[in-house]
């Protein structure tokens, strides 16, 4: 039947007759087709790994043989623009939602929500309050609502019940759990019997972020840290091989952000310019969220705006549009952004670190590594640039699930794939009672298939005549949420 259709209209009437002669499709056949050729538990697999703070150019600094294997067997993207602010929680949530921080609501590692009158800090149990996370739907929730299974190891937000859902398999966050244990767990979940195996997994590791903060990215001591991450990647690949799933699992290795070198000579002390009595300091350096005391907005702003040439001070409504960082109540009325390499403190008694991130997401130092391999990816292919929000529609495509509205674009990254994407279909077909409705459904489907074929045939002929329209319609199908205000 497929070859008949693919001839594109040479003998449509013959095809029609052949279709009419086919036995009625059963509901079971419908299920299989609804999954685009994958039987109930034979879904595509994808493992997303984040090495926190792994800057894009770390792989050029020391030999990284395991990253090289992934690139030779798969793809690499040189320049990945992540989301503003370039902090851990906002970027990890963007990777699994395809949304800018202003839209998914995890706008910083430290937040205040004036509507809820609650505070969020990655240092406290406030992260387990679902309300913070429910402005978006992470991919594992969509997968499970679609009948798939997911597993999560320490990924920010993955041990929080979001829209009533926890990953099928997950570990509660505990930084003392070694990388190797994390890998063993997730490989176990992927290689479980197919009825319970996970389809999508997320794996998080705290390094090289921690060392980058304490040593500074320019420290020669970072070389060993980077080599150690490469070994960890090698361990992961080996575990996948040992489990016999290396060729089956699509592996994406990326990060949330990069790291910039700081200097004790580059410190901005806010106490020099404005009294602490006038504001609450909500988010920390290098992009500081300032909540002025009631009625003090203009006073605080005027004291800060021209105070120091190494920081930009914005009223919320004036934050540059390209940051996509404005339309959320959790973004504070005043935002101070330090220039790259500068640290903002109230005074020098604060804790100073040698490396940090959070700065402008267009700075190369803030951008993460990106490599991937597996059956869905091209081989030995290097792409120049993408945005981290594009990963979400790409993963949905690979996993055969419909993406929710997002800020990414599949069209911008589809060249990473080994096959040209086709429009995705819902992963869960409507439930049908096989016993009582099978004959009726079968007959109905027979007619539907004939009508479907005619529509397909007419469309093919039309599109052949209008190639430019065909291209445009695909572009326009990409959702744009840049103007979505929450």
Smaller CB separation from Zn ion, 73 or 209: 209
Q: Of 144-152, 206-214, 422-430, 434-442, which part binds Zn ion (CB under 5 A)?
A: 206-214
Question: Could you tell me the smallest distance in angstroms from the CB atom of residue 45 to Zn ion?
Answer: 29
DSSP 8-state secondary structure symbol assigned to residue 328: S
List CB contacts of 123: < 8 A, sequence separation 6 or more: none
The DSSP 8-state label assigned to residue 464 in this structure reads H
Name the closest residue to Zn ion (Cβ).
209
Piece in contact with Zn ion (CB under 5 A), picked from 191-199, 208-216, 268-276, 463-471: 208-216
CB of 4 or CB of 353, closer to Zn ion: 353
Nearer to Zn ion, 209 or 390 (CB): 209
Q: Give the nearest distance from C-beta 155 to Zn ion in angstroms.
A: 15
Q: How far is the CB of 209 from Zn ion (least distance, A)?
A: 4
Closest CB to Zn ion among residues 159, 209:
209
* Alpha helix (H) residue ranges in 400-466: 434-465
Q: Which of 64, 86, 88, 254 is catalytic?
A: 88
Min separation Cβ 210 and Zn ion, Å? 7
| Residue carrying structure tokens 């130092």 | 365
Range 314-343, binding Zn ion (CB under 5 A): none
How open is the CA angle 52-57-58, to the nearest 5 degrees?
A: 55
Binding residues for Zn ion, total number by CB under 5 A? 1
Closest CA to 434 of 41, 147, 28: 28
CB of 357 to Zn ion, least distance (A): 6
Q: Which of 73, 81, 135, 209 binds Zn ion (CB under 5 A)?
A: 209
Rounded to an integer, what distance in angstroms lies between the CA atom of residue 434 and that of residue 426? Answer: 20
Q: Pick between residue 35 and residue 284 the one whose CB is nearest to Zn ion.
A: 284
User: Going by DSSP bridges, is the β-strand pair 150-153/200-205 parallel, antiparallel, or unpaired?
Assistant: parallel
Residue 256 touches Zn ion, criterion: CB under 5 A: no
Half-sphere exposure of 457 (CA within 13 A, CB side): 18
Q: Which stretch binds Zn ion (CB under 5 A): 205-213, 327-335, 396-404, 425-433?
A: 205-213
Q: How would you class 427 by CB atoms within 10 Å of its CB: exposed for 0-12, middle for 13-18, buried for 19 or more?
A: buried
DSSP code for 398: H
Q: Which stretch binds Zn ion (CB under 5 A): 186-194, 209-217, 218-226, 327-335?
A: 209-217
Minimum CB separation of residue 237 from Zn ion in Å reads 25
Q: 373, 233 in Cβ contact below 8 A?
A: no
Cis peptide before 286 (omega within 30 of 0): yes
The least CB distance from residue 385 to Zn ion, in Å, is 23
Strand (E) or helix (H) holding 47: strand 45-51
CB of 127 or CB of 413, closer to Zn ion: 127
> Looking at beta carbons only, is 198 or 354 nearer to Zn ion?
354
Q: Give the number of other Cβ atoms within 10 Å of residue 97's Cβ.
A: 29
> HEC states along 60-127?
HCCCCHHHHHHHHHEEEEEEEECCCCCCHHHHHHHHHHCCCHHHHCCCCCEEEECCCCEEEECCCHHH
* 88 flagged as catalytic: yes
Does an H or E element contain 252, and which? strand 249-254
Residues 165-204: x/- map of binding to Zn ion (CB under 5 A)?
A: ----------------------------------------
| Chain residues 428-467 in contact with Zn ion, contact rule CB under 5 A | none
Q: Which residues are catalytic?
A: 88
Which residues contact Zn ion (rule: CB under 5 A)? 209
């Amino acid at each position: 039947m497929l070859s008949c259709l693919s001839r594109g209209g040479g003998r449509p009437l013959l095809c029609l007759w052949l279709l009419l002669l086919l036995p009625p499709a059963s509901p079971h056949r419908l299920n299989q087709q609804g999954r685009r050729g994958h039987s109930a538990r034979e879904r595509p697999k994808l493992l997303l790994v984040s090495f926190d703070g792994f800057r894009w150019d770390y792989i050029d600094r020391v030999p990284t043989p395991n990253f090289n294997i992934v690139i030779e067997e798969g793809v690499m993207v040189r320049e990945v623009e992540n989301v503003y602010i370039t902090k851990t929680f906002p970027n990890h949530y963007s990777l699994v939602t395809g949304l800018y921080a202003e839209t998914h609501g995890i706008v910083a590692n430290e937040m205040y929500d004036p509507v809820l009158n609650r505070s969020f800090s990655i240092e406290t149990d406030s992260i387990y309050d679902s309300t913070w996370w429910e402005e978006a739907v992470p991919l594992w929730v969509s997968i499970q609502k679609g009948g798939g299974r997911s597993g999560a190891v320490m990924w920010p937000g993955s041990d929080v019940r979001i829209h009533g859902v926890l990953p099928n398999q997950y570990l509660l966050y505990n930084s003392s759990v070694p990388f190797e244990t994390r890998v063993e767990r997730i490989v176990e979940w992927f290689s479980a019997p197919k009825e319970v195996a996970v389809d999508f997994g997320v794996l998080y590791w705290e390094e090289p972020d921690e060392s980058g903060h304490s040593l500074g990215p320019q420290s020669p001591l970072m070389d060993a840290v980077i080599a150690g991450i490469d070994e960890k990647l090698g361990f992961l690949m080996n575990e996948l091989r040992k489990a016999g799933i290396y060729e089956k699992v699509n592996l994406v290795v990326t990060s949330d952000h990069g790291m910039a070198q700081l200097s004790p000579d580059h410190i901005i002390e806010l106490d020099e310019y404005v009294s602490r009595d006038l504001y609450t300091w909500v988010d920390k350096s290098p992009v500081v969220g300032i909540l002025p005391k009631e009625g003090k907005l203009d006073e605080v702003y005027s004291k800060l705006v021209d105070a120091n040439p190494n920081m930009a001070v914005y009223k919320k409504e004036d934050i540059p549009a390209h940051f996509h960082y404005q339309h959320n109540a959790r973004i504070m009325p005043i935002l101070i952004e330090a220039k790259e390499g500068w640290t903002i403190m109230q005074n020098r008694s604060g804790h100073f670190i040698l490396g940090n991130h959070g700065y402008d997401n267009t700075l190369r130092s803030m951008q993460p590594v990106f490599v991937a391999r597996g059956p869905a990816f091209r081989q030995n292919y290097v792409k120049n640039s993408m945005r981290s929000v594009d990963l979400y529609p790409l993963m949905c495509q690979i996993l055969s699930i419909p993406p929710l509205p997002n800020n990414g674009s599949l069209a911008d990254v589809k060249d990473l794939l080994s096959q040209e994407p086709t429009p995705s279909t819902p992963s869960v077909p409507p439930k049908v009672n096989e016993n009582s409705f099978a004959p009726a459904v079968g007959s109905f489907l027979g007619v539907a298939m004939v009508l479907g074929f005619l529509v397909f045939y007419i469309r093919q002929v039309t599109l052949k005549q209008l190639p430019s329209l065909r291209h445009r319609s695909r572009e326009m199908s990409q959702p744009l949420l840049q103007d979505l205000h929450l």
